Amino acid sequence: MTTPQGPGGPRPTSRECDALVVGCGPAGASAAYWLASSGIDVLVVEKSHHPRDKSCGDGLTPRSVLQLNDMGLGGELAAYHRCRGLRANAYGRTLAMDWPDQPGLEPYGYVVARSELDALVAGRARQAGARLWQGAEALAPLAPARGNHAFAKAQTGSLEAAGGAIVRDLESGTTTEVRARYVIIADGSLSRFGKAIGTARNRNWPQGLALRGYYRSQRDTEDYIDSFLDIRDATGRVVPGYGWIFPMGDGRVNVGVGLLSTQGPNKGANTTKLMENFLAQLPASWGLGPETSCGAPVGGRLPMGLSVGPRVGPDCLVVGDAAGLINPFNGEGIAYAYESGRLAAGAVADALASGDSQNLAAYEQAIEEIYGMYFRVGRAFVKLISRPRLMGACVNIGMHNRPIMEWMLRIMANYLRPEELGPAEALYGSLAALAARKPAHQVPQEQDRMGF
């Protein structure tokens, strides 16, 4: 048997493992860490090399901090810039709000460039015993395909079996047949591997767009991450989204714009123009412009609110952005990637321990219990704010009423306390009751050929 030389050492022409993880971003690295920590033989394949850049705001909320602490990375996080909360800006007003006091969560977040963050978590997974192949792309599942799934079938069916993957070393061009008892698909929002076994996006549900760049700024050590809720297009119309400035503490800030809806009047929105308009409306104190730019901005699409499915197959699970696990209220995806990767690892570990693949169904049950109704309300929220006048009125009212904004922060950042019935919980409960009256699934009439 020949053993082609890969960047991580010789790679066999065939390999077997208990679990194969496709992708080593937040979801994949989290799954790999928790699997390896359970003593499971896990192989992770990642087509890039760490450190590598990603289109992201780089902001870590307390939910992300909890997951990273649980993986033993609290000491490493302490070297990065800590933020105490969110500062909302709109219509000439500013409200600084600390992260909610939530049991089990630290009252702070961080800003960490994804190029460094993903390398940290991947390294932690390797320390736990995971095998990582970088510069290696999972080209296709090993199990023979039985036909494509439309999203309509996702409601009653499941993914095709994967069996493992054909993995190509991008440096040498050689391939390895990796046979795995279980496969976790974590290759991001444009998951080609997921599509190969039957995932598709529900095109009636929200898909966002985001664009971000790094800039030098003297305000790189602010205590709050800034969100600007009245960003406008070239015509001056307020759009359903926000701009952000996240201080990095190293002389730079992460600046970006995000659209939470690309439907109706926002279809075909130009995020480059939106970014230009956003930069032009910012106070001069930030010092942001072409002369302080650290490079061209990068962007991507955000399938939100569990809009990609199915998420469970006979031997596979889909996690993170590949499953549309992005908060429709604010576009946050990192925390949900870590959480879903951990949930998937638990389901796979149970399936391996019991010898029963039916245990994989526990993953979908957990996703629905933890996120189902919340994301359903979030999808309804996106439709609501897609009406420019209504969005403008809501933001304007909130900026003049701190309690309302603090309630909304807790709802939009998913810091509700089910055991209590405060104003935020009561407001969310009313929204959930309204959302529950509508059908849970809206099957699209047409599936995008690329799944997205």
310 prior amide bond cis, ω within 30: yes
- Cα 383–387–391 angle (5° rounding)? 95
The topology (CATH level 3) of 5-54+113-203+304-376 is FAD/NAD(P)-binding domain (3.50.50)
Q: Give dist(CA 67, CA 361) in Å, integer.
A: 23
| Series of mean pLDDT values for 10-residue runs along the chain (452 residues) | 44 90 98 98 97 93 97 97 97 94 91 97 98 97 59 55 96 96 96 95 91 97 96 83 96 95 70 93 95 95 94 97 95 97 98 96 96 91 77 82 88 76 66 60 33 26
**DSSP class of residue 371?**
I
Q: Give dist(CA 152, CA 447) in Å, integer.
A: 10
Rg (CA), the chain: 22
Q: What pLDDT is recorded for position 101?
A: 84
Rounded to two decimals, the pTM is 0.90
> Cα-flanking dihedrals φ and ψ of residue 51, to 5°?
-80, 145
**Sequence spans of domains, the chain:** 5-54+113-203+304-376, 387-436
Instruction: Say which residue the tokens 């429709």 belong to.
Output: 328
Q: What pLDDT is recorded for position 412?
A: 87
Q: Give dist(CA 78, CA 82) in Å, integer.
A: 8
Look at residues 1, 4, 39 and name the one whose alpha carbon lies nearest to residue 18: 39
Please list, in sequence order, all residues whose beta carbon lies within 8 angstroms of the beta carbon of residue 158, skipping any fewer than 6 positions away.
Answer: 198, 310, 312, 313, 314
